[in-house]
Structure 1
Amino acid sequence: MSSTLAWINGTWGDPSELKLPLSDRGLQLADGVFETVLIRGGEPQLLQAHHARWRDGATTLGMAPPPSLEVLGPLLREAIQRVGLDAHPTIASSRSATEKHGALRLNWSRDGVAGRGIQLPTGAPDPEQHRFWFSLSHHTPTFQSVRTWVSRHEQRNANSRLSYCKTFAYGQAIQARREAIEHGADEGLLLSTTGELCCGSTANLLVQRHGQWLTPPLTSGCLPGVMRAQLLEHGLAQEATIHAKPEPGDRWLLINSLDCRVVSAVDDHELTTTTQAQELWSELLKP
């Protein structure tokens, strides 16, 4: 029983050993979309919402729809059992509760059937000219505090359709975090081309101000996060423009499907921290 597992083209194995064709456009051009889903209690959390965003992202990129939930179901159940994340393991062990969480990544890329270059095949997108694979590993959700740095070099493009898709292209996020670490912080924050704060490098931004949770609007170019949508749908947050300089008494969080981190500082501004991170994150996992 392995703590990490991958699947592609009907083959199970270690992610470092399975192969992706060098012609794959996801590999060559980041031409693909993915989803990261929390496994908890043997079940994928908010899978329907993740799948909808995955499908919408593929449509935006002009790709064929990714595998349906009906196709995914048996594969994911087998993967969860193989990695030992099922709710009732068949082998008695002393696993801790944190080992019962997992991170599932679903990938959907376009094959390089059109040859070299960026030109896409003509006609309607063909599912046979796409590639699906996934990986699953143990994950420990973290709620620790992080110091953040507002990137001076990277910005989210509020006018780009790519900003609303979870694509393979994470170079900007990598550079924003690298810049933050160079300035003694842990995580990067990104401004939008509109001048407002947009998100963290891998998470949506939440600001509690005067007792109300606020999150940047989609018009800022922030990714339409699944947990962010849960907050809005449950009436726990509302959209508002957030600027880089915190206001007195602000409490900030960075939230995604795997973690919810407390922001202790923005640049040189120390923040009041909150103890609500784990409680809020867990509440959002309820359907």
Structure 2
Amino acid sequence: MTLVIWADGRLVEQGQGALSAVDHGITVGDGVFETCTVFGGQVFALTRHLARLERSALGLGLEAPDAQRVRDGVVAVMDAAVAEAGPFDGRLRITVTAGTGPLGSGRVPGAQTVVVAAQDGAMAPTSRSARSPWPRNERSAVAGLKTTSYAENVVALADAVAKGGDESILPNTVGQLCEGTGSNVFVERGGELVTPPLSSGCLAGITRALLLEWGAEEGLAVREAEPDELPFDVLDEVTLGEAQLVLTSSGRNVQPVTWLDGAEVPVGKISSVARELFEERCRQHLDP
């Protein structure tokens, strides 16, 4: 599997030292990131991802990343990766940290660290998911931001994997359906495909937004839920086969769930149409 890494202006080998041991992104997870899908050696929805990268940085109290510096890293990585692997499918990750800092939580103003990496790989067509025993805090200071402080997600995902899944579905603190560790969720019920509102604490996913936009353009019954419309126990309807579940993310596109908490579950008709629509549109519109 090809892996190409660019760190602060230079290409580095996997395992080669690239960051300071006191980079605040390492010591306290003080940074933000984006993961983009790569189709045929081209980065999908880069403009939207860079806009969200800036929103996350500002929300974390960091300066807006230097967009040209980030784009230079993307070009360097993609040129090297395509030269090595050809026009590949996979993913590209952009990470921006607060740069070098003290060993505590306090920041020292200085140059940010930028790392870009690309790797080839295929998306799974379906997901096996499990409910998380831990909630997402919708009132957190970093709710809705894509930060490198990812320990909660790592633990929740490990729990799902131990149960036989590949994603963990989280409630929020008031018992509403929220999101996966690295995905947004849609529930198909009552002839509609409905996703939790951003007020639930979920990330404003790029794939989520595009499915809402493209679905509306095609007359698909897909929308954002009302604040109290999707309680976490709506997943009981999924395991009973009365509703269906879909995950969306840059690593999954639109991915139906076929197994939830040990039960095989069917794929909904609207879910299948939504998946086909996204697969078609995303390759026609590389920077929507």
CA contact (8 A) 2:35 2:93 kept: yes
Pair 65,272 (structure 1): closer, same or farther in 2 beyond 3 Å: same
Normalising by structure 1, we get a TM-score of 0.84
Secondary structure, counterpart of 1:65 in structure 2: coil
Deviation at 1:27, TM superposition (A): 0.2
Whole-angstrom CA distance in 2 between matches of 1:38 and 1:208 = 25
The one-letter code of the counterpart of 2:61 is G
Q: Displacement of 1:269 after TM fit?
A: 4.7
**Match in the other structure for 2:261:** 267
Answering whether residue 139 of structure 2 is matched by residue 159 of structure 1, we say yes
**Aligned partners of 2:92, 2:99: CA distance in 1, in Å?**
22
**Structure 1 unaligned spans of 5+:** none
Q: SS where residue 180 of structure 1 aligns? A: helix
Measure the CA separation in 2 of the matches of 1:65 and 1:205: 29
How big is the shift at 1:201? 1.6
Alignment of 1:231 with 2:211, yes or no, is yes
Residue of structure 2 in register with 1:189 after alignment? 169
The counterpart of 2:89, out of the listed 101, 110, 117, is 101
Instruction: Pick one of 149, 170, 175 that aligns with 2:130.
Output: 149
Within 2, Cα distance between the matches of 1:178 and 1:209?
29
Q: Distance in 1 between matches of 2:204 and 2:96?
A: 18
Give the conservation status (yes or no) of the 8 Å contact 1:34–1:106.
yes
Q: Percent of aligned positions with the same letter in both sequences?
A: 28
User: Within 1, Cα distance between the matches of 2:122 and 2:115?
Assistant: 23
CA distance in 2, matches of 1:38, 1:72: 16
Q: Secondary structure at the match of 2:132?
A: strand
Letter in 2 for 1:282: E
**TM-score, normalised via structure 2 length:** 0.84
The structure-2 alpha-carbon separation of the partners of 1:81 and 1:60, relative to structure 1 and needing over 3 Å to count, comes to: same
What's the CA shift for 1:239? 1.5
C-alpha displacement of 1:283? 4.2
Tell whether the 8 Å contact from 1:151 to 1:180 is kept in structure 2 after alignment: yes
CA 1:208–1:117: 2 relative to 1, 3 Å: same
Task: Identify the residue that residue 58 of structure 1 maps to in structure 2.
Answer: 57
* Residue aligned with 1:262, SS: strand
- State which drifts further: 56-65 or 263-272: 263-272
Match of 2:152 in 1: 172
**Aligned residue type for 1:140:** A
Q: Report the alpha carbon displacement of residue 17 of structure 1 after superposing the two structures with TM.
A: 1.4
| Structure 2 match to 1:200 | 180
Partner of 2:76: 78
Q: Secondary structure at the match of 2:237?
A: coil
Q: Distance in 2 between matches of 1:155 and 1:199?
A: 10
Match of 1:209 in 2: 189
Contact 2:32 2:53 in 1 (8 A): yes
Equivalenced residues, count: 267
Alpha-carbon shift at residue 176 of structure 1 (Å): 1.4
Cα distance in structure 2, aligned partners of 1:6 and 1:160: 32
In structure 2, runs of 5+ residues without a counterpart are none
Q: Is the 8 A contact 1:8 1:132 kept in 2?
A: yes
Q: Does 1:254 align with 2:247?
A: yes
Following superposition, the deviation at residue 101 of structure 1 comes to: 0.9
Q: 3-state DSSP class of the match of 1:16?
A: coil
- Please identify runs of 4+ aligned residues in structure 1 that moved more than 3 A: 70-75, 274-278
Aligned residue in 1 for 2:13: 14
User: Match of 1:256, as an amino acid?
Assistant: S
The alpha carbon displacement at 1:161 in A equals 3.4
Judged with a 3 Å threshold, the aligned counterparts in structure 2 of structure 1 residues 200 and 43 are, in CA distance, closer, same or farther, namely same
Indicate the SS of the match to 2:56.
helix
Whole-angstrom CA distance in 2 between matches of 1:55 and 1:171: 22
